[in-house]
Each structure stands twice: as C-alpha cells, then as structure tokens.
Copies of this chain bind each other. A is one copy, B any other.
Amino acid sequence: MSEDDWSPRRRPQMADVARLAGVSRATVSRALSDSPAISEQTKQSVREIARSLNYTVNVGAKNLRQGTNRTVGFVIPYQTSVRQAVSDPFFLSMLGSVADAVTDRGFEMLVSRVDATAIDQVASAFESGRACGVILIGQWHQHGQLNRLARRGVPLVVWGGVLSRQSYATVGGDNQLGGYLATRHLLQRGARQIAFLGNADLPEVGLRLQGYLKAHAECGCKVLKRLQVNVPFAAEQARQAIDQYLATRPRLDAIFASSDLLAMIAIQGLGAQGILVPQDVAVVGYDDVPMAASFNPPLTTITQHVELAGEQMVDALLEIVAGRKPSNRTLPTSLIARQSA
C-alpha cells in the first residue's frame, strides 16, 4: 500500500453488505441485530462480510429511524473570564465515573463545555436531539434556571445539594453530614479556631457550612465570623484568595476546606509561611480526589464515592428519560482520616 494513499474511501453501508451476501438490506439489518427470525447460516455469512468490510451500522441513521437516542450529554461549565482548562480533579474524576456508567449501560457520552452564564445552552444537546438528557456537575448558583430547563422538559440530573422545590433530579453526598464530620474531627482533636474555606453561596458548600456550624453548636464552641473565608472553586482565583487571607496571618489552629483542591492550596500556602501541617494547623479537605492520598501530607478528607456517583447520576437520568419522576439520590458520606488532621 502506498504511503500516500489517503483517498477518501467511502464508508461501506448496509447495501454493500447486502450485495456481497446476496440478501436484502432488511436481512442484513436483522442479522446484525441478531433477530431470531434469521437462520444461523445467514447470520454467520452476513456477519462475516460485515467484519471483512469493517462495516458498522450507522448509529445516526438508526437513531433517526427508531426515534431513540442512546447518548447522554455531559456538561462542563466554564467561566468566560477564566477560560482555562478544567482544573478541579474532583470534577474530572466525575467525568470518568459517568463515562464508565454510561458505557456499562450501552450508552455514549457527548461532552460539551458551556459558559456558566449562558446556562440555557445546557439544553441544546437535548433539544437538538443529540442527547436523551443531560448531566451537569454543580449548580453554579443557577437553581432557578435549572428548574426552568427541567420544567421545559429537558431530562436533567445535577450533581449537588438538594434544594427545595426542584424539578430536576439531584445526586450528591450528604453535604451537611460531611461538613459536620470534618468539623467534629477537628474539634475532637482540640482545634477551636477552625477556618472554613469555600463559597457558601453554592448549595453544596452552603450545606457543608451548616454542618460546620452544627458541629460547633454541639460542642458549645464559638463560631468566629472572621474564620469563614469566601474562596472560589477555580484553582487560580482560589490560590489568590487563600494567599491573600493567609497573608493577614490569621490566628487559627485548623482549616476545613470545602474541596481537596482548596485544602492542597492552603497547605502549600501555610508551608510557604513555615507553618506545619498537621502540627501547627490541622487541615481537612473534601472530595477524596485520587491525589489526596499522595499529597504531602496525605489528606484527611470526606469521601464522595465517585464511582457510585456516576452510576447514580446515569440511572437517575435514564429514569427520567423513561418517563418517571425525577428522584433525588443521596450517597454515603464518611471521613477518611489520613495525616493532615
């Protein structure tokens, strides 16, 4: 074969297989979908010819004909301002988990990036018929808009906290419990000045903060306003916000960060000031990202059961697609004690 052979070889189609097999297209179709109405012999020969041509049924045409759609949309938010590659590792392990679950169920996954401010675009994968529904990671302050989409008939599953009056399905950990466990762990270790890092406007983070407050209340410990630090999720901005906060040399003996990414950034910032973790300041993260165990020191954190998450989200979505009512699912949440606290 010549090295320059880049002829636009037409892809084979069912008619080609039919011709070579000496049968009709209908027979090929049936043979390839293993219909019981076809003789073993015919099936064999059709399959063989299909193989030899590297023929695979055109999924687009099939979907069109059947009116079905075995593709799940997965939306990655971005902020126009930051236009940077997705950086939160938790987010990306979710993507992997959903990809697995989708594959297991014989579906495909269409990934699209959507400007967080143009949230209507989330629906476009569905409305243009490319996906049978959409999975979204994180609520981005947009509860109202998401509700509107769902009401409009877009099958929608969101990873995040359960809010009241939702028309879409939510899958998520028990964020309040997670916040509570993390904080209690720190309190039990004797910490009394525990900083909370995160953006409490996000439903998930807000719930974690509630857990933080609850744990304090339970042990009768005072909560200090100055220790609640508003930190965005995105890596670069987070680093700025945290460095800025630490530069004020706040008095604290522990940190509860609302994501592992934030915890890691904080630990690094503390290290730069010569403050040791966990000796001087104990730190608990959230998510248990793959790298948490490899961090230095290994991160004490709250697990999110990523594997399970993908399955639950996909199942929730397929349920909606099948016409059932969106149902929320809560995943188990627990603390993993490593060395950072």
Contacts and interface: CB of A to CB of B under 8 A. Distances in A.
Contact of A58 (B71, B128, B152): B128
B59 A128 contact: yes
Interface in A312-341: 320, 323-326
Interface residues of A, number: 75
A89 B86 contact: no
Contacts of A151: 1, 5
Nearest to A130: B59
B99 A111 contact: yes
Copies of this chain held together in the complex: 2
Contacts of A297: 268, 271
A239 B103 CA distance: 28
Nearest to A235: B290
A108 B130 contact: yes
A320 to B, nearest CB: 8
A288 to B, nearest CB: 11
A219 interface: no
A60 B268 contact: no
Contacts of A296: 264, 267-268, 271, 295-296
A55 interface: yes
Interface stretch (A90-98, A197-205, A207-215, A225-233): A90-98
B76 A86 contact: no
A113 interface: yes
Nearest to A120: B54
B239 A265 contact: no
A60 B64 contact: yes
A293 B326 CA distance: 41
A60 B323 CA distance: 22
A59 B129 contact: yes
Contact of A110 (B109, B323, B326): B109
Contact of A95 (B57, B95, B129, B264): B95
A298 B268 contact: yes
A9 interface: yes
A234 to B, nearest CB: 10
A24 interface: no
Contacts of A96: 76, 85-87, 92, 113
Contacts of A61: 64, 129
A8 B86 contact: no
A85 B6 CA distance: 36
Most chain B beta-carbon neighbours within 10 Å: one of A83, A153, A261, A307: A153
Interface in A60-91: 60-61, 63-64, 69, 71, 74, 76, 83, 85-87, 89
A218 interface: no
A112 interface: yes
19 contacts: A4-B325, A54-B127, A58-B128, A60-B60, A64-B64, A76-B96, A85-B306, A86-B95, A86-B96, A87-B290, A89-B291, A109-B110, A111-B111, A235-B290, A239-B294, A267-B296, A268-B298, A271-B296, A295-B295
